[in-house]
Each structure stands twice: as structure tokens, then as C-alpha cells.
């Protein structure tokens, strides 16, 4: 851990190399989405599926950088009275974010310059949701930063956090140490970048980063990405167990990890049933720690935290509505099960993983009715009515049991989430983008041939 005196160095880095690199004109053609900042996920994990975001919702983006989370949240909340506060210590980064917001016509953002460590003294009203991505691991004392966020969190609010993971970044940290040695005494940031490029292109094949380099390609296209990855003056990481200790030391509960969820499950890492029986006797956090070590692949931890436990929407609540993540084609998923006989295995290739699940007796019937509008109770009842002529012994309880099984699998693969039936469906990124694109008159031809 480095000195708190490195904070001016961190500020200098982001004034010189604002991160992530963004071109504001790109707002005319697309809306960038961020990991856990979709209203659907915030609602599912933080508010038991019952938050509609319509009345006085307050958001803080702590360490807003060039604006990804701020823009995405402000766009989703454009038609509400929500307030979004952007906070960052870099004027250069803030100016890029403000330009992006201006192009989109967003007026629901308050812009503030400063460190998250200043939050307890800034006399701000408490926030319902705080997004803090890639910031706390750049502080000399991450616990101090998290406590500062907790100080401005509503009692029933939720935090969305991302910090670096230790094992998946092993090669990165070796290169960081290598460049500290090579760049000893070097004050010029451009020369430090050139030295790093020379070193990276000269590494022997046995180097640990070389063995895992395909996971980290951005540095080849961007000096900003290279500097943030290899030359950051203050960069620490966390293991699963360290995250639990850290979160709880600040008076918070870890709600759940929300990306790469399968990689926190030991049953997908090990096939030995005797070993798995032993692992399953351990507390959840130790099981997750075992999976993290076994896979060795997680390079960042994305998760929600809250002051209170039990904030996740429950799949056994018949009033909740299941809805697919917007990049998942629910109809195609149902088709995959429809083509297989009941009891047959179905192989699912989704995102970073392939898993095989059993096609239950009514799995395809359930999936066909998951339209993002119908609540679980009605879905189960519709299936029962449609199947009772074929099977007089079918029951609501047996169908619900099968729904819970398929829900657990699809939620684990980040495909399926829940909201209460009283909460309207959330707009997709393309639905949010269309009015912006139309208002600026962007099209592919004008993008390549500006007038």
C-alpha cells in the first residue's frame, strides 16, 4: 500500500490521461452501458425488485472519470425527477463527461470536483444509489474511501462497487513492478510509456503476463489504457475474503457478486463429488474464495453492498416478474429447450461460459412464457392449466420447483433478473439511444463524411 501523498500523482495522471478514453461525438450513435448501473440490476439486487425510481431518487457517481456510469444512469433516469451527482478529482475527465452529457441533452447531472474522501464534509443529501467503479483500489486506504461513501448513503440505499481482483491480475502486477524498476527516476510520463512499450514488446515467452496477455489487449490501442494498467502509482487488489472483511469493517453487507457469477461457484470448478461435498460444508464466502483460486481468472470484482441484508428480489415471490438481460434472446433460449426431449441435457453457450443443464418436464413451457411482463405466479398458473390435461398429477408446487431451478441457472449466467409487478419494464439501451440519435441527425453516411 502506498502513501496518501500519492493522491496528487493520481490527479496528475487523470488530468494528463483521462480514463477511460472517450470521444464525446460517439454519443450521437450509441449509449455505453456499464456493468451494474442498469436500473434493472440496481432494483433486483438493492431494492427487492420494488424500486421504480420515479420519486426523488438520488444517485452519486463517485470517481466519475470520463462519464460512462454518469451518462448511462442520467439517460435511464431522464424522464424522472432523479438527481445524479458526478464527483471526480480530474478537471480534464469532467470536461469530457460534461461534453458527452451536453451532446445528449442531459440536464439532470450536478457536476462536482473533488475526492471521495471529502464527501462527509460536503454537506450533501444522502444518496439512494452510489456507483463507484475502479476508484477505491486507487486509494492509499480503501476502507477510508468506503467509509466516506457509507457516510452519504441512505439507510436503505445500495452501493455498486468494482475493485481489482488479485489472482487474475498477477501478470499485471509483475509488469507494474518491472516498470517501477526500469522507470526509476523517470519524471516524464510519455517517456515512461515508451519504456513500457519497449519492455512489453521484448518480454520473454516465459513471462507471466505473456502467458495471460490475451486477457488484456487495450494497451495496444491506447496510451491512456497502457498508463492506467501498468504505470498507475497507486493500485491494490482484493481477494474474495479480503472483500468480505473490508466491507464488513465499514458496517456494510456484501449483497452479491453480479458479474462473472459462475466463477464464484466451486461446483463449476471441480468435478470430484467427494471434494465438493467437503467444500459445500464451508461458509459461502469460503466457497467463493475457493472458486476464485481454482479458476484464477477473475481480474475484477463487481458487487453490490448495503447496510441491510436481504435486499435481493426473491424468485419464490409470485408477484415478481422475470425479465431477460437485454442482450439475451429469450425466444432463442426457449427454442434450445424445445428442441430437446424432457430429461435430456441442454448445452448453453452464454458469454464466457458453457454449461449443461437438464431439460425439465415443463422447462420449455416456462421459458416460452417469460415475456418480461407476466409475474411468476401467473406464469406458473398458465403452465399448470396448459399441462393438466396431459398430466393430471401436475401441481403448482412442482412447476414452481422447476421454475426455481431454471431461474437459478439463468440468473447465475447473468441472463435473468426480477422486478415486482408494480414496477414498469425498464427501457433498453437502444430504446434510450434512439431519440438522441434522431435529434442530432446521425447516420452512418454522415459519420464517415461529416458536413
Q: What is the dihedral of CA 404, 406, 407, 412, to 10 degrees?
A: 130
Alpha carbons 188 and 153: distance in angstroms, whole number: 40
94 and 21 in a common domain: yes
50 and 109 in a common domain: yes
Is residue 108 included in any domain, yes or no? yes
Is residue 429 included in any domain, yes or no? no
Q: What is the pLDDT of residue 6?
A: 54
Q: What is the pLDDT of residue 218?
A: 84
Q: Alpha carbon of 282 to those of 242, 286, 288: distances in Å?
A: 17, 6, 10
Alpha carbons 17 and 173: distance in angstroms, whole number: 20
139 and 22 in a common domain: yes
Is residue 388 included in any domain, yes or no? yes
Q: Which residues of the chain have pLDDT under 70?
A: 1-6, 441-451
Q: Is the pTM of this model over 0.85?
A: yes
Q: How many domains does the chain have?
A: 3
343 and 243 in a common domain: no
251 and 200 in a common domain: no
Q: How many CB atoms lie within 10 A of CB 114?
A: 12
Is residue 447 included in any domain, yes or no? no
225 and 251 in a common domain: no
Contacts of 322 (CB under 8 A, 6+ apart): 315, 370, 372, 376, 379, 407, 416, 417, 418
| Range of the structural domain that residue 71 is part of | 4-166+237-260+297-306
Q: What is the pLDDT of residue 21?
A: 96
- What is the per-residue pLDDT across 293-312, written as a single tens digit (0 to 9) for each? 999 999 999 999 999 999 99
48 and 81 in a common domain: yes
75 and 140 in a common domain: yes
Q: Alpha carbon of 366 to those of 27, 49, 212, 321, 416: distances in Å?
A: 38, 20, 41, 13, 13
Is residue 131 included in any domain, yes or no? yes
131 and 80 in a common domain: yes
Q: What is the pLDDT of residue 305?
A: 98
Q: What is the pLDDT of residue 448?
A: 30
Q: Tell me which of 306, 330, 365 is where a domain ends.
A: 306
CB-based burial label for 294 (10 Å; 0-12, 13-18, 19+): middle
Phi first, then psi: give them for residue 165, nearest 5 degrees: -105, 140
Q: Which residues pair with 163 in a beta bridge?
A: 301
185 and 99 in a common domain: no
Is residue 276 included in any domain, yes or no? no
383 and 334 in a common domain: yes
79 and 38 in a common domain: yes
Is residue 275 included in any domain, yes or no? no
Amino acid at each position: 500500500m502506498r502513501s496518501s501523498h500519492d493522491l496528487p500523482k493520481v490527479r496528475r495522471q487523470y488530468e494528463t490521461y483521462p480514463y477511460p478514453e472517450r470521444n464525446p461525438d460517439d454519443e450521437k450513435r450509441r449509449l455505453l452501458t456499464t456493468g451494474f448501473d442498469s436500473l434493472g440490476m440496481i432494483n433486483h439486487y438493492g431494492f427487492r425488485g420494488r424500486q421504480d425510481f420515479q420519486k426523488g431518487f438520488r444517485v452519486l457517481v463517485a470517481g466519475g472519470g470520463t462519464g460512462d456510469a454518469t451518462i448511462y444512469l442520467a439517460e435511464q433516469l431522464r424522464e424522472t425527477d432523479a438527481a445524479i451527482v458526478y464527483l471526480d478529482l480530474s478537471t480534464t475527465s469532467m470536461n469530457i463527461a460534461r461534453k458527452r452529457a451536453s451532446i445528449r441533452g442531459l440536464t439532470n447531472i450536478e457536476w462536482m470536483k473533488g475526492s471521495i474522501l471529502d464527501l462527509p464534509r460536503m454537506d450533501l443529501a444522502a444518496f439512494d444509489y452510489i456507483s463507484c467503479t475502479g476508484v477505491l483500489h486507487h486509494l492509499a486506504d480503501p476502507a477510508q474511501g468506503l467509509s466516506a461513501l457509507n457516510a452519504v448513503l441512505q439507510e436503505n440505499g445500495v452501493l455498486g462497487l468494482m475493485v481489482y481482483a488479485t489472482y487474475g491480475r498477477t501478470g499485471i502486477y509483475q509488469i507494474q513492478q518491472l516498470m517501477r524498476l526500469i522507470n526509476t527516476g523517470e519524471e516524464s510520463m510519455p517517456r515512461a510509456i515508451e519504456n513500457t512499450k519497449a519492455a512489453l514488446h521484448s518480454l520473454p515467452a516465459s513471462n507471466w503476463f505473456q502467458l495471460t496477455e490475451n486477457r488484456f489487449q487495450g494497451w495496444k490501442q491506447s496510451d491512456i489504457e497502457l498508463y492506467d494498467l501498468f504505470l498507475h502509482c497507486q493500485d491494490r487488489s482484493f481477494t474474495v475474503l479480503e472483500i468480505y472483511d473490508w466491507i464488513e469493517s465499514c458496517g456494510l453487507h456484501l449483497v452479491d457478486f453480479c458479474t462473472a457469477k459462475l466463477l464464484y461457484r466451486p461446483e463449476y470448478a471441480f468435478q470430484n463429488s467427494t471434494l465438493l461435498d467437503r467444500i459445500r460444508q464451508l461458509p459461502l464466502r469460503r466457497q467463493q474464495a475457493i472458486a476464485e483460486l481454482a479458476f484464477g481468472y477473475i481480474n475484477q470484482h463487481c458487487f453490490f453492498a448495503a447496510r441491510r441484508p436481504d435486499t435481493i428480489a426473491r424468485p419464490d415471490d409470485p408477484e415478481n416478474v422475470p425479465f431477460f438481460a437485454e442482450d439475451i434472446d429469450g425466444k432463442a433460449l426457449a427454442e434450445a429447450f424445445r428442441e430437446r426431449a424432457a430429461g435430456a441435457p441442454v448445452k448453453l453457450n452464454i458469454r464466457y461460459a458453457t454449461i449443461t443443464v437438464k431439460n425439465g418436464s415443463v422447462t420449455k413451457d416456462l421459458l416460452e412464457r417469460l415475456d418480461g411482463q407476466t409475474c411468476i405466479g401467473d406464469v406458473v398458473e398458465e403452465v399448470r392449466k396448459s399441462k393438466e390435461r396431459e398430466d393430471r398429477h401436475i401441481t403448482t408446487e412442482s412447476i414452481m420447483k422447476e421454475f426455481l431451478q431454471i431461474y437459478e441457472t439463468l440468473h447465475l449466467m447473468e441472463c435473468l433478473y426480477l422486478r415486482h409487478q408494480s414496477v414498469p419494464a425498464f427501457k433498453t439501451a437502444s430504446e434510450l439511444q434512439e431519440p438522441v440519435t434522431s435529434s442530432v441527425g446521425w447516420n452512418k453516411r454522415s459519420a464517415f463524411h461529416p458536413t
